[in-house]
Structure 1
Amino acid sequence: MDTEYRALQQGSPSPWRTADGVSSWGPAQHQKRQRCQGSSSDQAGSSSSSSLQISEPEPQQNQEEDYYVEDDCDAYDEDDYDFDEAEFNLHLADKFDDLDLPPGVEANVPWLQKIPPKEVVKQPPISITADENANKYDKFKQFDTVQTFSDHHYAKNSHEEPTRAWSKRVQHDWKLLENDLPAYIYVRVAEDRMDLLRAAIIGPKGTPYHDGLFFFDVHIPSAYPSGPPLVYYHSGGLRINPNLYENGRVCLSLLGTWDGRGCEKWNPAQSTMLQVLVSIQALILNEKPYYNEPGYESFATTPNGQLLALKYNDDTFLYSCRTMLYSLRRPPEHFADLVAGHFRVHGHTILAACKHYMAGNDIGSVVPEEEEESASRSAPKAKPGVIRTIPLNRRYAGSFDTSLKVLYEDLLMEFNVKGADTRKFMIEKLKKDQPAGT
C-alpha cells in the first residue's frame, strides 16, 4: 500500500500499473502474457481506478522582481514625516481596545506580529517541479510590488494624474505595509497603477475561516486620504460573513460602508491602509461571525442564539472550503505561488479538521494530534471551562456531513496535486475504495 501511495504522490504509475492502467510486466511475464491474452487474469490486470492518478502540478508564475517606486519629483521623503513606529503601533492597537464588539467575538490577531518562518514540510520533495514550487513559496514576500494587474476588480476605474501630495501619502502607506504587516497578511501593489493594491488574508485559527485564503482588491481614489479606499472581496459568489457580500461588497465602518454606533470611522489624519487590512482580519474574520449581523449580538446569551451561531459556523466552513477550491483552480494574479505553497503546507491540517468536524466537533475547535484522533471521534468535546448547553445533534438532517464529505474528496485530490502531506488520507481512501474480499 505504501508503494502505491508513493507512486501516486510522485505522479507516476504504481509498480504494477502503467499510466494507462495496464499491468506492468517483465520480459518473462510478457512472453507468458502473449500466450494467455484471453485469460481473465489479464483482463483483471488491465482494469484500474484511473480516478486516483494524479497529474503533475501546473507550472506557477515567475516571482516578480523586487521593486520600489522611485520618482525624482514625487519620491517619498522621510524627512517630511515625523514617524515613530513604536508610537504608531501602540496607537493602532489602542483603536481596537475600545471597540464595542458583540459578546463572544474577539479580535484574533497578534498585534503587528511579524509573520513567523513558514512551516517546513516534513515530507521529502516529491519531484523537481514540487521542489521548485516550494522554493517559490518560501521566497514569497509579505509585501512586494508588481508591474500591473490585468484581473484587478478596479483596473478599469479611471485614475487622474496623481498629485505630489497623493503620491507621498500612498508611498507612506506602502512603507507602513512593508514594515508592519501583521502575521498572515500578504500585499502586492502595482508599479504602473499606484492606486491599485491586492491583499491576501489567511483565516485566523479558532475561527471557521482557519487556514483559508481570502483575497481583497483595493482602489485608492484621487481624494485619498480625505476619504477611505474602495475595497472589493473576491467572493466566488459566496457570502461567508455578514460583512462580506456575494457581490464583493465589504461592509466596514472604517470604509464608510457601515454606519454603526461606537465604530471606528475614517480619519484622514490617522487612518491608513494598514488599519483597513488589520480591521478585516481582526473584526470580520472572527470566531463567531453570526453576531456580526446588526442586532444579532443581543442573542449571544440565549440558547437559540448560540445554536444559530454554531449552525452559521458550519455553513461558513463549507463556504470556506469552496473558496479554497476556487482559489486553487483560479488563483488571483501574482498570488499563484502563495496559493500553491500555502495549501501544500496546510493541506494536511485542513483535511484533518474536516474529519474532526464530520465527527461532530465544533467548527474552529482544536484538532487533536494524530495519536489522539481516534479518541476524539467518540463524542464532541466542549472547550475547557465551558459548559455546553447546545444539543449535540444540532446539525440538520446530516446536510453538513454530506456536503463536507464531497468537499473533503475534492480538497484531497487538489492538495495531493499540490504536493501536500496527504499520505494518511490517501491510504484511507485506497482502502475504502478497494473492492470487498480483495
Structure 2
Amino acid sequence: MEQTPSTFGHSRTAWTCSVRRWWTPYEDGLFFFDLQLPPSTYPAEPPLVHYRSFGLRVNPNLYPSGTVCLSLLGTFGGEDAAELWSPAKSTVLQVVVSIQALVLTAQPYYNEQGNKGMGERNVLPYAENAYLLSLRTMLHLLRRPPARFDELVRAHFRRRGQFVLRRCAAYLRQDGSCTLDADERPCSEGLKLGLAGVVPRLVEAFTNIGAEGCEEFDQFLKAIQN
C-alpha cells in the first residue's frame, strides 16, 4: 500500500492509493480514495471517504457512486459497537488498512451482507467479474489519472504492466498455476471471453507509457485475436 497525503485548503483532504493485493482479483491494481477530515466533525466522527470508481463496482463495499461501506466509517449497516469509530482510539491509518485488509480481499463475494450462507457456487464468478472490472479500472486510470497522480500511475504500470499481462495470459491459456479460486477450479469461459476483449487494450495502454516487457505479448495477442 502506498499513501500520498496532502493538505488542500480547509477541508484537509488526503489521497490514498491501495496497490498490489497479492492473490486477489485486485492484484497489481491501483485504487484511489479521497479522505476528508472536516474540522467541524473530525475526530469526533470518522473521516469522509470517497472511492474513485469510474462508475464500476469492483467490490460489494465500493459503490459506483464512490460510497465506501465500512463499519469503521459507520456506513456498513448493522455494525457491532466494537467495530465503529472511536474518537479516542481510531485513526486514519486504521481506515486505510481496513480498506486494504477487509475490502480488497481474495473472495469479495463474501463482503456482501447475506452472502455467507448462500454457498460457494457464486464465489468464483464474482471474483472473475471483480478481476475484469479491476482491469478496466487500470485502463480508466491510465486515461484519466487523478490530478497530481498521473506520474505515479504511469510509473506503477511501467513496472507492473508486464505482470498484469502475464496473469491475463495464464488465465487465457488455462494455466493451472493461476487461479482466482481457493479451490483452484478452472476459470470460466466468460472470464476468457472478457479477457480477450480487454487484454489488447491493456497491451496498447501499457506500450504507450513505455511499460517493460510488453513486446513479448505481440504473438500472444495475434493468437487470441485469430
Q: Structure 1 residues 309, 318: closer, same or farther in 2, change over 3 A?
A: same
Q: Which of 49, 53, 66 matches 1:248?
A: 66
Q: 1:313 is matched with which residue?
A: 127
- The TM-score normalised by the length of structure 2 is 0.89
Give the equivalent residue in structure 2 for 1:188.
5
* 1:305-344 equivalences in 2 (<5 Å): 305-344=119-158
Q: Counterpart of 1:348?
A: 162
Label 1:432 to 1:324 Cα distance change in 2 as closer, same or farther (>3 A). closer
Q: Alignment partner for residue 403 of structure 1, among 194, 215, 219?
A: 194
Q: CA RMSD in A?
A: 2.4
Does the CA-based 8 Å contact 2:25-2:180 persist in structure 1? no
Residues 193, 187 of structure 1: alpha-carbon distance in 2 compared, 3 angstrom cutoff = farther
Distance 1:433 1:408, change over 3 A: closer
**Aligned counterpart, 1:296:** 115
Deviation at 1:360, TM superposition (A): 3.5
Aligned residues: 223
Contact 2:127/2:180, CA 8 A, preserved across alignment: no
Q: Measure the CA separation in 1 of the matches of 2:180 and 2:134.
A: 23
Secondary structure at the counterpart of residue 34 of structure 2: strand
1:335 aligned partner, one-letter code: F
Cα 1:308–1:382, aligned 2, differ >3 Å: closer, same or farther?
Answer: closer
Question: Which runs of 5 or more structure 2 residues have no equivalent in the other structure?
Answer: none
Residues 9-47 of structure 1, C-alpha deviation per residue, up to 9 Å, x if partnerless? Answer: xxxxxxxxxxxxxxxxxxxxxxxxxxxxxxxxxxxxxxx
How far the C-alpha of 1:202 sits from its partner, in A, is 0.8
Instruction: Give the counterpart of 1:424 among 216, 219, 222.
Output: 216
Q: In 1, distance between residues paired with 2:114 and 2:172?
A: 31
1:227 is the counterpart of 2:45 = yes
- Comparing 252-261 with 240-249, greater Cα deviation is found at 252-261
Deviation (angstroms), 1:404: 1.0
Distance 1:433 1:264, change over 3 A: closer
2: CA distance between counterparts of 1:336 and 1:204?
21
Question: Structure 1 pair 280/255, CA: closer, same or farther in 2 (3 Å)?
Answer: same
Shift of 1:403: 1.7
Please, what TM-score do these two structures have when normalized by structure 1?
A: 0.48
User: Where does the alignment leave 5 or more consecutive residues of structure 1 unmatched?
Assistant: 1-183, 300-304, 368-379
The AA in structure 2 aligned to 1:346 is R
Alignment of 1:213 onto 2:30: yes
SS in 2 for 1:283: helix
Q: Secondary structure at the match of 1:296?
A: coil
For 1:198, what is the secondary structure of its paired residue?
strand
The within-5 A match list for 1:8-407 is 184-193=1-10, 195-221=12-38, 222-262=40-80, 264-299=83-118, 305-360=119-174, 367=178, 392=186, 395=188, 398-407=189-198
Q: Residue 203 of structure 1 contacts residue 285 of structure 1 at CA under 8 Å; is this kept in 2? A: no
Shift of 1:189: 1.3
Higher share of residues assigned helix: 2
Q: Could you tell me how far apart the structure 1 residues matched to 2:224 and 2:69 are?
A: 45
Deviation at 1:417, TM superposition (A): 1.1
| Structure 1 position 432, deviation (Å) | 7.7
Q: Supply the AA of the counterpart residue of 1:206.
A: W
Residues 381 and 350 of structure 1: is their aligned pair in 2 closer, same or farther, counting only changes over 3 Å? closer
Call closer, same or farther: CA 1:382–1:313 in 2, change over 3 Å.
closer
